[in-house]
Structure 1
Amino acid sequence: MPGAINQVDGGTITTARGFRSGGTYAGIKTYSDDKMDVGMLLSDTPCAAAGVFTRSSIVSPSVTVNRETLAGGHAIRGLVVNSGIANAGLGEQGYIDAKEMAVLASAAMGVKPEEVLVFSTGIIGVELPMTLIKSGVDETTLSETGGNELARAMMTTDTHPKEVGVTVDIGGTDVHIGGVAKGSGMIHPNMATMLCFVATDAAIDQGLLRTMLPEVADYSLNMLTIDGDSSTNDSLVVLANGAAGNATITAGTPEAEAFKAGLLECCVQLTRKLARDGEGATHLLVVEVTGARTSEDARTAARTIASSLLVKSAVYGADPNWGRLLAALGRSQAEAVEEKIDLFINGVCIMEAGKPIPFHRDAVVALMRGDEVTFRIALNLGDADATAWGCDLTEEYVVINSAYTT
Structure 2
Amino acid sequence: MGVVNQSSIFQRGLGTGRNIDVEITGPELEQIITLGREVLANVMQKLPGAQARPIPSLDLGNPEVQVRTHRRRAAELGISNRDLGFAVSALVDGVKASDFRFEGKEIDLMVIAAGNVAHRTHLLEQMPIATPDGRLVTLGSVAEISVVSGPTTINHKERQRTITIQVTPDEHMPLEQAMNIIQTEVLQPMKDGGRLGGLYQAGLSGSADKLTQTGRALRLNLLLALAITYLLMAALFESFLYPFVIMFSVPLAALGGFLGLAAVNKFISYQALDVLTMLGFIILIGTVVNNAILIVHQSLNHMKNEGMTPRHAIREAVRTRIRPIFMSVSTSVFGMLPLVLFPGAGSELYRGLGGVVMGGLIVSTVFTLFLVPALFSLSLDIRAALAVRLRRFLLSPHEADAR
Shorter-chain TM-score tier? under 0.3
Instruction: Normalising by structure 1, report the TM-score.
Output: 0.24
In our comparison, the structure showing a higher alpha carbon Rg is 2
Instruction: Normalising by structure 2, report the TM-score.
Output: 0.24
Return the structure number with greater strand share. Answer: 1
